[in-house]
Amino acid sequence: MKLQLSDEDAAFREEMHTFFTTQIPQDVRDTVAARRELSKEQIVASVQAMNAAGIAVPNWPVEWGGKDWTPLQRHIWHEEMQLANVPPPLPFNASMVGPVIAAFGSQEIKERFLPKTANLDIWWSQGFSEPDAGSDLASLRTTAVRDGDDYLVNGQKTWTTLGQYGDWIFTLVRTDPSVKKQAGISFLLIDMSSPGVTVRPIELIDGGHEVNEVWFENVRVPAENLVGEENKGWDYAKFLLGNERVGVAPVGSTKRTLSQAKEFAKTAGPGGTSLLDDPLVAAQVADLENEILALELTALRVVANSADGKPHPASSVLKLRGTELQQAVTELFVDLAGPLALASGAGDGSDVPDLARVATPNYLNFRKASIYGGSNEVQRQIIAGTILGLRG
């Protein structure tokens, strides 16, 4: 047992800290620090700065731009990025479709897509969920019917995050309706500029436009856009969703947001006094710091001891607890803002600090965190069934 990072890992941490605090456009980091929404251009600029340094897709195979890093180094990369107010690489590209293409795609499909996917020259959207297929994803109904050299795709996807920016969408489609539901699904790449694709915004409770519905009406998709084998899409999706849970505990960003909240509290009391002098507030902040520490240490335990490639049993805790704490900190920010939390629509000429204006929209927005990526109830089901052996 030992606490210290090896000299090599400590140097790596320093290198990442320096990179993220000096090589990412300042306006991107300022926008994240202000808890404001990033533009498409800002997200692209951030990813391309990382990709130029060869660290945008470290989890990919080395021949396609990945890094031969240890799980601990990957964790450090992810943490230092978040602590420096740098947005993680677009997950649809870096964590989802990229690894699937690299693992299951043909050489032709890899060459065609992977370099542009790493560099965010193609913006990918995710086409998995449907109105009647949420946590029960395998019940999806969008169909792809073979027609000569093409598939004809019909159906509707939903919750497509940032789909308004999407160039391409990776989809799960039903190619064989006659078999068990998991066995008739394929993984198909669709150009979103194809005739018959319609993207419609879904307005969320924070007033923002983050997710979309995507409709497919007789969309003609070349069969060469199929990844891997027909009707094997469910296997690829399970592979992808396994990746999705890694790094889904946003430790660094939650730590950073809490430290921002603590700083904000110092002048948020009546007459500019410190709210940290309120013992209830101080206790809540100190308790959250301790809970986040426990989460971070659990993440470190998982990565420090998963070198043999097997997931550590405690990893299931990360998504569940990570999102709970992420939500708790957004809630704290609203409480600290107090009556100023109502001023979400304030613009020029307002005396309300910006962090107070964004507090409630962020709080409302992050209710999503315990729902996506396998809802927290699904996580409890996994813990109860897989770890504790409690099978109903």
Partner 1 sequence: MDFQLDSEQEALRDAVRGLLSKAYDTSETRREVTKQDPGWGDKTWQQLAEMGVLGLPFAEEDGGMGAGPAEVSIVAEEIGRVIAPEPFVEAVVLAGGLVAAAGTPEQRAEILGALAEGGLVPAFAHTEPASRYELAATGVTASSADGGWTLTGVKEPVLGGARADLLIVSAAVDGGTGLFLVKPDADGLTRTGYATFDGGRAAHVGFDNTPATPLGEPGADQSDVIAATVARAQIAYGHESLGAMETALRTTTEYLKTRKQFGVPLMTFQALTFRAADMYVSLELARSTVTWATLVLLDASSGSTSADEVIEAASRAKLQVSKAGRHIGQEAIQLHGGIGMTAEYSVGHYMSRLTAIDHALGDGRHHLNRLVATLDDHTVVDPLP
Residue from 37, 191, 213, 291 touching partner 1 (CB under 8 A): that is 291
Stretch binding partner 1 (CB under 8 A), from 131-139, 203-211, 342-350, 383-391:
383-391
Stretch binding partner 1 (CB under 8 A), from 23-31, 101-109, 226-234, 293-301:
293-301
Residue from 103, 199, 282, 364 touching partner 1 (CB under 8 A): that is 282
Nearer to partner 1, 70 or 182 (CB): 70
Stretch binding partner 1 (CB under 8 A), from 1-9, 41-49, 158-166, 338-346:
1-9
Q: Is 321 in the site for partner 1 (CB under 8 A)?
A: yes
Stretch binding partner 1 (CB under 8 A), from 90-98, 108-116, 276-284, 334-342:
276-284
Who contacts 392 (Cβ-Cβ below 8 Å, separation ≥6)? none
Work out how close the CB of 109 gets to partner 1 at its nearest, in angstroms, rounded to a whole number: 39
- Residues in region 360-379 near partner 1 by CB under 8 A: 377, 379
Residue from 258, 268, 334, 341 touching partner 1 (CB under 8 A): that is 258
CA 156 and chain centroid, separation: 22
Q: Is 229 in the site for partner 1 (CB under 8 A)?
A: no
Q: Which of 15, 213, 230, 244 is catalytic?
A: 244
Catalytic site includes residue 244: yes
Distance CA 192, CA 124 (A): 9
The 3-state DSSP class for residue 46 equals helix
Distance CA 317, CA 246 (A): 11
- Residues in region 7-26 near partner 1 by CB under 8 A: 9
Residue from 305, 311, 350, 354 touching partner 1 (CB under 8 A): that is 305
Work out how close the CB of 346 gets to partner 1 at its nearest, in angstroms, rounded to a whole number: 27
Work out how close the CB of 317 gets to partner 1 at its nearest, in angstroms, rounded to a whole number: 5
**What torsion, rounded to 10 degrees, do the Cα atoms 96, 100, 103, 109 define?**
-120
Q: Is 292 in the site for partner 1 (CB under 8 A)?
A: yes
| Residue 3 CB-density burial (10 A; 0-12 exposed, 13-18 middle, 19+ buried) | exposed
Distance CA 352, CA 358 (A): 10
Nearer to partner 1, 173 or 318 (CB): 318
Beta-bridge partner residues of 189: 170
Place of tokens 């539901």: 181
Instruction: Fill in the amino acid letter for 377.
Output: E
Phi-psi region of 325 (alpha: psi -120 to 50; beta: other; left: phi over 0): alpha
| Residue 108 CB-density burial (10 A; 0-12 exposed, 13-18 middle, 19+ buried) | exposed
Residue from 29, 35, 255, 357 touching partner 1 (CB under 8 A): that is 255
Residue from 52, 297, 311, 354 touching partner 1 (CB under 8 A): that is 297
Nearer to partner 1, 179 or 294 (CB): 294
CB atoms within 10 A of CB 235: 16
Tell me the per-residue interface mask from 111 to 150 with partner 1, x by CB under 8 A, - otherwise.
----------------------------------------
- Residues in region 148-177 near partner 1 by CB under 8 A: none
List the one residue out of 262, 256, 292, 255 whose CA is nearest residue 276.
Answer: 262
The vertex-32 CA angle with 44 and 51, nearest 5°, equals 30
The two most distant CA atoms of the chain are separated, in Å, by 73
Distance CA 253, CA 256 (A): 5
* Positions marked catalytic: 244
List contacts with partner 1 (CB under 8 A). Answer: 1-6, 9, 72, 83, 255-256, 258-259, 262-263, 276, 279, 282-283, 285-287, 289-298, 300-301, 304-305, 314, 317, 320-321, 377, 379-381, 383-385, 387-392
